[in-house]
Structure 1
Protein backbone atom coordinates (compact mmCIF):
# COMPACT_ATOMS: atom_id res chain seq x y z
CA UNK A 1 0.00 0.00 0.00
CA UNK A 2 1.34 3.43 -0.88
CA UNK A 3 0.33 6.87 0.22
CA UNK A 4 0.87 10.21 -1.44
CA UNK A 5 1.43 13.36 0.55
CA UNK A 6 0.14 16.39 -1.31
CA UNK A 7 1.52 19.92 -1.07
CA UNK A 8 -0.44 20.56 2.12
CA UNK A 9 1.29 17.63 3.83
CA UNK A 10 -2.08 16.05 4.54
CA UNK A 11 -2.66 12.34 4.23
CA UNK A 12 -5.59 10.75 5.99
CA UNK A 13 -4.09 7.25 5.81
CA UNK A 14 -0.71 8.00 7.35
CA UNK A 15 -0.01 8.97 10.93
CA UNK A 16 2.84 11.44 11.25
CA UNK A 17 3.98 12.27 14.74
CA UNK A 18 6.75 14.60 15.75
CA UNK A 19 9.72 13.63 17.80
CA UNK A 20 12.84 15.55 18.67
CA UNK A 21 16.35 14.55 17.75
CA UNK A 22 19.44 16.75 18.11
CA UNK A 23 17.31 19.86 18.57
CA UNK A 24 15.25 19.37 15.39
CA UNK A 25 11.70 18.20 14.88
CA UNK A 26 11.33 15.34 12.41
CA UNK A 27 8.16 13.72 11.14
CA UNK A 28 7.96 10.13 12.32
CA UNK A 29 6.15 7.74 10.02
CA UNK A 30 4.38 4.74 11.48
CA UNK A 31 5.46 1.83 9.26
CA UNK A 32 3.20 -1.12 8.88
CA UNK A 33 5.66 -3.41 7.16
CA UNK A 34 9.40 -3.97 7.27
CA UNK A 35 10.89 -5.36 4.08
CA UNK A 36 13.44 -8.11 4.61
CA UNK A 37 16.71 -6.90 3.11
CA UNK A 38 17.36 -10.35 1.62
CA UNK A 39 14.15 -10.03 -0.44
CA UNK A 40 15.29 -7.01 -2.47
CA UNK A 41 17.55 -6.43 -5.45
CA UNK A 42 19.70 -3.33 -4.97
CA UNK A 43 20.17 -1.27 -8.13
CA UNK A 44 22.63 1.45 -9.06
CA UNK A 45 25.71 2.90 -7.47
CA UNK A 46 25.84 4.42 -3.99
CA UNK A 47 28.17 7.26 -4.93
CA UNK A 48 25.67 8.69 -7.45
CA UNK A 49 22.93 9.39 -4.89
CA UNK A 50 23.59 10.59 -1.36
CA UNK A 51 19.87 10.72 -0.46
CA UNK A 52 18.62 7.27 -1.34
CA UNK A 53 19.40 3.80 -2.53
CA UNK A 54 17.27 2.23 -5.27
CA UNK A 55 15.94 -1.31 -5.04
CA UNK A 56 13.47 -3.65 -6.71
CA UNK A 57 10.94 -5.51 -4.58
CA UNK A 58 7.98 -7.54 -5.88
CA UNK A 59 8.64 -6.23 -9.41
CA UNK A 60 8.32 -2.58 -8.32
CA UNK A 61 11.01 0.08 -7.89
CA UNK A 62 11.65 1.84 -4.61
CA UNK A 63 13.95 4.46 -3.11
CA UNK A 64 15.18 3.73 0.41
CA UNK A 65 15.88 7.14 1.97
CA UNK A 66 18.93 7.45 4.20
CA UNK A 67 18.07 8.58 7.75
CA UNK A 68 20.00 11.85 7.38
CA UNK A 69 17.91 12.72 4.29
CA UNK A 70 14.47 11.85 5.69
CA UNK A 71 13.50 15.36 6.86
CA UNK A 72 14.73 16.91 3.59
CA UNK A 73 12.80 14.37 1.50
CA UNK A 74 9.55 14.79 3.47
CA UNK A 75 9.87 18.56 3.12
CA UNK A 76 10.10 18.16 -0.67
CA UNK A 77 6.72 16.39 -0.53
CA UNK A 78 5.12 18.80 1.92
CA UNK A 79 6.28 21.90 0.05
CA UNK A 80 4.75 20.67 -3.22
CA UNK A 81 8.07 20.39 -5.03
CA UNK A 82 7.62 16.67 -5.70
CA UNK A 83 4.07 17.22 -6.97
CA UNK A 84 5.34 19.96 -9.29
CA UNK A 85 8.13 17.79 -10.67
CA UNK A 86 5.67 14.94 -11.26
CA UNK A 87 3.15 17.25 -12.91
CA UNK A 88 5.81 18.53 -15.33
CA UNK A 89 6.89 14.92 -15.94
CA UNK A 90 10.43 15.64 -14.78
CA UNK A 91 10.29 12.72 -12.36
CA UNK A 92 7.99 9.67 -12.36
CA UNK A 93 4.99 9.38 -10.04
CA UNK A 94 6.51 9.04 -6.57
CA UNK A 95 4.68 8.05 -3.41
CA UNK A 96 5.56 7.51 0.23
CA UNK A 97 5.01 3.90 1.29
CA UNK A 98 4.39 2.39 4.70
CA UNK A 99 7.57 0.29 4.34
CA UNK A 100 10.90 0.47 6.10
CA UNK A 101 13.97 -1.57 5.30
CA UNK A 102 17.10 -2.21 7.35
CA UNK A 103 18.57 1.20 8.30
CA UNK A 104 16.19 3.18 6.05
CA UNK A 105 13.22 4.70 7.92
CA UNK A 106 11.50 6.02 4.78
CA UNK A 107 10.80 4.21 1.51
CA UNK A 108 9.36 5.78 -1.64
CA UNK A 109 7.85 3.93 -4.57
CA UNK A 110 8.33 5.18 -8.11
CA UNK A 111 6.03 4.26 -10.98
CA UNK A 112 8.73 3.48 -13.49
CA UNK A 113 10.45 0.77 -15.38
CA UNK A 114 14.15 0.23 -14.99
CA UNK A 115 16.02 0.91 -18.19
CA UNK A 116 19.73 0.30 -18.35
CA UNK A 117 20.59 1.70 -21.75
CA UNK A 118 23.91 3.44 -22.36
CA UNK A 119 23.40 6.94 -23.77
CA UNK A 120 25.64 5.97 -26.70
CA UNK A 121 22.71 3.78 -27.85
CA UNK A 122 20.11 6.57 -27.60
CA UNK A 123 18.57 7.87 -30.79
CA UNK A 124 18.58 11.66 -31.42
CA UNK A 125 14.99 12.09 -30.18
CA UNK A 126 15.86 10.43 -26.86
CA UNK A 127 18.86 12.76 -26.44
CA UNK A 128 16.69 15.79 -27.24
CA UNK A 129 14.04 14.71 -24.71
CA UNK A 130 16.70 14.19 -22.04
CA UNK A 131 18.16 17.64 -22.71
CA UNK A 132 14.67 19.19 -22.45
CA UNK A 133 14.13 17.50 -19.07
CA UNK A 134 17.42 18.90 -17.77
CA UNK A 135 16.37 22.39 -18.89
CA UNK A 136 12.91 21.92 -17.33
CA UNK A 137 14.53 20.88 -14.06
CA UNK A 138 16.86 23.89 -14.11
CA UNK A 139 13.91 26.21 -14.72
CA UNK A 140 11.67 24.61 -12.07
Structure 2
Protein backbone atom coordinates (compact mmCIF):
# COMPACT_ATOMS: atom_id res chain seq x y z
CA UNK A 1 0.00 0.00 0.00
CA UNK A 2 1.24 3.44 -0.89
CA UNK A 3 0.56 5.68 2.11
CA UNK A 4 -1.09 8.92 1.03
CA UNK A 5 -1.74 12.06 3.06
CA UNK A 6 -4.33 14.63 2.05
CA UNK A 7 -5.20 17.85 3.89
CA UNK A 8 -8.19 19.95 2.90
CA UNK A 9 -10.17 22.85 4.29
CA UNK A 10 -13.88 23.41 3.90
CA UNK A 11 -16.39 25.99 5.02
CA UNK A 12 -19.36 24.90 7.11
CA UNK A 13 -20.63 28.36 8.08
CA UNK A 14 -21.38 27.29 11.63
CA UNK A 15 -22.50 23.81 12.51
CA UNK A 16 -24.36 22.34 15.44
CA UNK A 17 -22.89 20.10 18.08
CA UNK A 18 -25.17 17.35 16.78
CA UNK A 19 -23.85 17.73 13.24
CA UNK A 20 -20.25 17.67 14.50
CA UNK A 21 -20.99 14.49 16.45
CA UNK A 22 -22.54 12.91 13.35
CA UNK A 23 -19.51 13.81 11.20
CA UNK A 24 -17.19 12.40 13.86
CA UNK A 25 -19.16 9.17 14.32
CA UNK A 26 -19.43 8.51 10.58
CA UNK A 27 -15.75 9.37 10.04
CA UNK A 28 -14.63 6.97 12.75
CA UNK A 29 -16.74 4.14 11.35
CA UNK A 30 -15.90 4.69 7.68
CA UNK A 31 -12.22 5.33 8.33
CA UNK A 32 -11.81 2.25 10.51
CA UNK A 33 -13.37 0.16 7.72
CA UNK A 34 -11.15 1.79 5.06
CA UNK A 35 -7.83 1.82 6.94
CA UNK A 36 -7.79 5.63 7.11
CA UNK A 37 -6.50 7.62 10.05
CA UNK A 38 -6.50 11.35 10.55
CA UNK A 39 -7.50 14.56 12.20
CA UNK A 40 -10.51 16.88 11.93
CA UNK A 41 -10.33 20.38 13.37
CA UNK A 42 -13.68 22.16 13.62
CA UNK A 43 -13.47 25.94 13.79
CA UNK A 44 -16.38 28.35 14.14
CA UNK A 45 -16.96 28.32 10.37
CA UNK A 46 -14.28 26.09 8.83
CA UNK A 47 -12.93 22.57 8.96
CA UNK A 48 -9.36 21.45 8.44
CA UNK A 49 -9.00 17.73 7.92
CA UNK A 50 -6.01 15.46 7.41
CA UNK A 51 -6.61 12.01 5.94
CA UNK A 52 -3.95 9.31 5.69
CA UNK A 53 -4.21 5.85 4.22
CA UNK A 54 -4.05 4.02 0.93
CA UNK A 55 -4.35 6.22 -2.15
CA UNK A 56 -7.63 4.67 -3.32
CA UNK A 57 -9.20 4.73 0.15
CA UNK A 58 -8.26 8.40 0.68
CA UNK A 59 -9.58 9.33 -2.78
CA UNK A 60 -12.88 7.54 -2.12
CA UNK A 61 -13.18 9.22 1.28
CA UNK A 62 -12.58 12.61 -0.33
CA UNK A 63 -15.33 11.87 -2.87
CA UNK A 64 -17.78 11.17 0.00
CA UNK A 65 -16.78 14.45 1.66
CA UNK A 66 -17.31 16.37 -1.59
CA UNK A 67 -20.89 15.02 -1.75
CA UNK A 68 -21.62 16.05 1.87
CA UNK A 69 -23.41 19.41 1.89
CA UNK A 70 -21.96 20.23 5.32
CA UNK A 71 -18.67 20.87 3.50
CA UNK A 72 -18.69 23.90 1.17
CA UNK A 73 -15.85 25.58 -0.73
CA UNK A 74 -13.57 22.55 -0.33
CA UNK A 75 -9.90 23.33 -1.00
CA UNK A 76 -7.19 20.67 -1.10
CA UNK A 77 -4.21 22.19 0.71
CA UNK A 78 -1.73 19.29 0.62
CA UNK A 79 -1.70 15.93 -1.07
CA UNK A 80 1.00 13.35 -1.66
CA UNK A 81 2.88 10.35 -0.43
CA UNK A 82 3.73 9.98 3.25
CA UNK A 83 6.40 7.88 4.93
CA UNK A 84 4.41 7.23 8.09
CA UNK A 85 1.11 8.07 9.72
CA UNK A 86 0.88 11.07 12.00
CA UNK A 87 -2.38 9.93 13.60
CA UNK A 88 -2.05 6.16 13.80
CA UNK A 89 -3.87 6.10 17.18
CA UNK A 90 -7.09 7.58 15.78
CA UNK A 91 -9.39 6.56 12.94
CA UNK A 92 -10.35 10.22 13.28
CA UNK A 93 -9.16 12.58 15.97
CA UNK A 94 -11.68 15.41 16.19
CA UNK A 95 -10.86 18.67 17.90
CA UNK A 96 -12.59 21.99 18.26
CA UNK A 97 -10.18 24.72 17.21
CA UNK A 98 -10.84 26.75 20.37
CA UNK A 99 -9.82 23.80 22.56
CA UNK A 100 -6.42 23.27 20.95
CA UNK A 101 -3.66 24.19 23.43
CA UNK A 102 -2.87 27.91 23.38
CA UNK A 103 0.83 27.36 22.68
CA UNK A 104 -0.16 25.57 19.45
CA UNK A 105 -2.75 28.23 18.56
CA UNK A 106 -0.15 30.97 19.07
CA UNK A 107 2.14 29.32 16.52
CA UNK A 108 -0.40 28.47 13.84
CA UNK A 109 -3.45 30.72 13.97
CA UNK A 110 -3.49 33.72 11.62
CA UNK A 111 -3.83 36.95 13.61
CA UNK A 112 -5.28 34.90 16.47
CA UNK A 113 -7.94 33.27 14.27
CA UNK A 114 -8.28 29.70 13.00
CA UNK A 115 -8.29 30.26 9.23
CA UNK A 116 -7.00 27.21 7.35
CA UNK A 117 -7.25 28.93 3.96
CA UNK A 118 -4.62 31.45 5.10
CA UNK A 119 -2.09 28.89 6.33
CA UNK A 120 0.94 28.31 4.13
CA UNK A 121 2.03 24.71 3.54
CA UNK A 122 4.78 24.81 6.19
CA UNK A 123 2.30 26.01 8.83
CA UNK A 124 -0.23 23.31 7.89
CA UNK A 125 2.46 20.66 8.19
CA UNK A 126 3.67 22.13 11.49
CA UNK A 127 0.15 22.28 12.94
CA UNK A 128 -0.57 18.66 12.01
CA UNK A 129 2.76 17.52 13.41
CA UNK A 130 2.25 19.48 16.65
CA UNK A 131 -1.22 17.95 17.10
CA UNK A 132 0.08 14.47 16.37
CA UNK A 133 2.59 14.92 19.19
CA UNK A 134 0.10 16.54 21.60
CA UNK A 135 -0.70 14.00 24.31
CA UNK A 136 -3.62 15.89 25.83
CA UNK A 137 -6.20 13.68 24.08
CA UNK A 138 -5.26 10.02 23.68
CA UNK A 139 -8.79 8.71 23.18
CA UNK A 140 -10.72 8.57 19.91
CA UNK A 141 -13.39 10.84 21.33
CA UNK A 142 -14.49 14.23 20.13
CA UNK A 143 -13.31 16.93 22.52
CA UNK A 144 -16.39 18.14 24.35
Q: Give the shorter-chain TM-score range.
A: under 0.3
Which protein is bigger by CA-based radius of gyration?
1
Write 1 or 2 for the structure with the bigger share of strand. Answer: 1
- Higher RCO (CA-CA < 8 Å; seq separation 6+): 2
Write 1 or 2 for the structure with the bigger share of helix. Answer: 2
